[in-house]
A and B are shown apart, each in its own frame.
Chain A
């Protein structure tokens, strides 16, 4: 009986294992396979999404007026707008919309589509609408301020004068993608402007069209044959949901995936040593930060804040867990942007921290609850700080979990995480870290890290940040940002930055042209495999 069972079941197993031609040694030359953790993907509406993974997909299904090239991120280039002019007062942007561009539906792209799409972003008012709302656009004024004046001209007026780059960068963001208004007209449900439809479909003009999306399983995008810049070389892009880092590593190593996007430090290191893949470290515009709640009597003392800066093992972490995830940076303007300075004066120094604590009146240290997200590398960074703090007499009760809600509502003592700003301009980071117009609980400026930390940012820093955003002279701006950077460093901030965020991806050596984009808009139409 048992023998019969063994033979029968073993035969089925052997037969299935011996099935022909199923384990391919390499992906086809005209298809790109990306291993991705898609569990955080929530729909594909460009006016609603807010995740890195979704942004990459939307970047290829849709296009925008302005393009920021991956290799020259701060130089706006024409996209769907073939040209633009800016009025002398700096408030009116006139865009000439490119002719001959078709949506995936076959409809021609016109200025009306641009007008409808930008207004839709503001009117829906979802998370990414900040990209336009922060410049003063509201549901009430957007009809007046963003308008198509003819079939190929769109005028965008800003209520105030802002540096023109800020507006152009915003118009290059995934959120300002241009949608097919004619196609979406009959998809409206209860005035949602096609929001429900766009969760699982696309209405864009980008180089790829969405073919299949099976949540937490697979996304397939096909090349758009009528793409105005020519049909992409990769006939199809397949994004496979692989949540496990080790599984991604094995698949890219075996050639079953071309790109792996969610890998642990250990797996990245092993792949780099293997030589079959290149590890891309794309610098972002966010930071790994430590937030010290200023409503707490002890943490609000500048010397205590300063002590924490000596408790982070910058060099030790940089060579280990942060090797692929960040670049050591203690200043606030991200490296590569105007006003950035190469200055990292702090290093791990327990004795110095102890001395500062004594001067602050806490020679025996204190105890605090410390919230950190239990993911790599944030948790390892938190554990390192906890260990160093203990040596200085500070007992940190490290609690992992999703505490971002508590951080937003100022219900924490110490919190650490990483931020992910998208505009390639110092203002994006500074607005969140160094402005807090009203530090009262009632103000509820929950979008700002400074408010969340209850940090009453020195007024001179706040004034400089505001002035720099409105400054139209680029050289004056650079000067202002350099000053802000120095002032922030000297202010013993309640938001301590330690590493500039980088996003690491593994790319097979035969894959060319897949270039990680700092504003999350990595393109697939530039990819080839030597064909």
Chain B
């Protein structure tokens, strides 16, 4: 290799590195702007809701001097931009403040409630994708048959039935009448305190600790809400999978493959399915994000102490530190899932590199 070629190669390498650096910087700027925007909107909306955070703390019978004192203690006497600036400065130090309701640090509250939601949402996504994707594909492959009609009815029901109604009905039938599932919570109360693990996921921590009673109890408690959420996710994913697959099956390369005498199974799985993987990954990631921040109804019905319930309760009592911390966490998780799916795209589809 000549000197000029070597220099050119190095220059090309530098350009690539620079370009990668720019992309990374742009991505980080976009992420930071998104999170800041999220916080600004939440902060402003939080100040507009009618609930008075001071009364939520001192009670409505408190006299004016008590009210004024707590108002100052909570820092509400400062201009809103100063409050927000101070909050951002605290966040930079990874201090999310104290919850006025729980009296704990918001970070420790989130470390406790988020794994509960993560456990539920992950299981629901596995169930939703595990059933929904194959069902959608089968429905597309057998379009117009009874399988297709059945899959569409199941999907439509999952899409249109209120999830809290399904939850209440499931509890009524399987808990109250059959005694097959527990009524709610993450674990049987008599197993409480047996496992205090590093992840705060009872299923994982009990497995790590070898506490089988706790493991079964945790699994027994999570399965009903996870199946219901999974059903809702399945309804969405089966419809999307069906639509993606139908689009592929209409392509000319499928016709060519069939003309060449390739069997149905290889056509579906080796050719059509490969081409919908990126789209599928996108919708599964979206469903997962939706489950992580939108399980509040099921959490309430099943008394599941997760992020949804925590956030709702914080909103109800105008507990802004808790609300902002939760919203920030949801934002970060959503961005992380999207980034992760972007990375996976690159592995499964070279065109996206």
Contact = CB atoms under 8 A, between A and B. Distances in A.
A12 to B, nearest CB: 8
Nearest to A408: B60
B184 interface: yes
B252 interface: no
Interface stretch (B19-27, B61-69, B327-335): B61-69
Contacts of A42: 56-57, 100-103
User: Lowest 7 A-B CB distances belong to which pairs?
Assistant: A199-B103, A50-B59, A2-B134, A405-B52, A217-B305, A19-B216, A215-B102
18 contacts: A9-B127, A16-B222, A19-B219, A19-B220, A22-B182, A25-B179, A125-B66, A126-B62, A130-B62, A216-B305, A220-B192, A242-B184, A247-B302, A250-B176, A401-B50, A403-B50, A406-B50, A446-B63
A469 B313 CA distance: 40
A250 B172 contact: yes
A247 B301 contact: yes
B216 A254 contact: no
Contacts of B289: none
Interface string B167-193: 010011001100111111110111011
A405 B50 contact: yes
Interface in A370-400: none
Given A1-B134, A242-B184, A13 B227 contact: yes
A468 interface: no
Contact of A39 (B62, B131, B190, B313): B313
A447 interface: yes
B103 A17 contact: no
Contacts of B138: 2
Contacts of B171: 247, 250
Contacts of A75: none
A320 B193 CA distance: 43
A6 B193 CA distance: 34
Contacts of B316: 39
A238 B185 CA distance: 13
A383 to B, nearest CB: 20
A39 B305 CA distance: 11
B131 A254 contact: no
Interface string A3-45: 0011011001101110110111100100001000001111100
Nearest to A4: B134
Nearest to A253: B176
Contacts of B216: 16, 19-20, 22
Contacts of A16: 216, 219-220, 222-223
A241 interface: yes
B33 interface: no
A24 B220 CA distance: 13
Interface residues on B, range: 35 or more
B199 interface: no
A282 to B, nearest CB: 20
B352 interface: no
B153 interface: no
A344 B134 CA distance: 69
B181 A17 contact: yes
Nearest to B179: A23
Contacts of B176: 250, 253-254
A315 interface: no
Given A23-B180, A40-B101, A126-B66, 16 more contacts: A16-B220, A17-B220, A25-B179, A41-B101, A50-B59, A125-B65, A126-B70, A127-B59, A200-B103, A212-B193, A217-B185, A241-B305, A247-B171, A251-B183, A405-B52, A432-B61
A254 B172 CA distance: 11
A349 interface: no
A22 B104 CA distance: 31
Interface in A479-506: none
Contacts of A432: 61
A403 B60 CA distance: 11
Contacts of B181: 17, 23
B41 to A, nearest CB: 21
Interface of B: 50-52, 55-67, 69-70, 100-104, 109, 112-113, 127, 130-131, 134-135, 138, 168, 171-172, 175-176, 179-186, 188-190, 192-193, 216-217, 219-220, 222-223, 227, 269, 300-303, 305, 309-310, 313, 316-317
Q: Which of A41, A211, A216, A444 counts the most chain B CB atoms within 10 A?
A: A216
Interface string A110-126: 00000000000000011
A244 B317 contact: no
B300 A240 contact: no
Interface residues of A, number: 68
Contacts of B305: 214, 216-217, 241
B189 A218 contact: yes
Contact of A28 (B52, B190, B193, B310): B190
Nearest to B62: A127
B109 to A, nearest CB: 7
Interface string A255-267: 0100000000000
Nearest to B67: A446
A129 interface: yes
A27 to B, nearest CB: 9
Contact of A50 (B61, B101, B184): B61
Interface string A199-212: 11000000000011
B301 A244 contact: yes
Nearest to A422: B61
Given A9-B131, A22-B188, A214-B305, A447 B61 contact: yes
A351 interface: no
Contacts of A241: 303, 305
Contacts of A253: 176
Contact of A13 (B55, B217, B223): B223
A216 B217 CA distance: 20
A404 interface: yes
A173 B41 CA distance: 43
B63 A242 contact: no
Given A23-B181, A125-B66, A243 B300 contact: yes
Q: Which of B61, B168, B172, B302 counts the most chain A CB atoms within 10 A?
A: B61
Contact of A5 (B52, B134, B180, B223): B134
A404 B52 contact: yes
A82 interface: no
Contact of B66 (A22, A127, A238, A256): A127
B258 to A, nearest CB: 20
A250 B50 CA distance: 34
A254 B179 contact: yes
Given A19-B219, A22-B182, A43-B103, A240 B189 contact: yes
A199 B222 CA distance: 30
Contacts of A402: 50-52
B168 A246 contact: yes
B55 A405 contact: yes
Contacts of A212: 192-193
B77 to A, nearest CB: 16
A350 to B, nearest CB: 32
A43 B319 CA distance: 14
A216 B110 CA distance: 12
Contact of A256 (B61, B62, B183): B183
B64 A244 contact: no
B124 to A, nearest CB: 12
Contacts of B103: 42-43, 196, 199-200
Contacts of A12: 223
A315 B227 CA distance: 46
Interface string A213-225: 0111110100000
A66 to B, nearest CB: 22
Interface in A85-126: 125-126
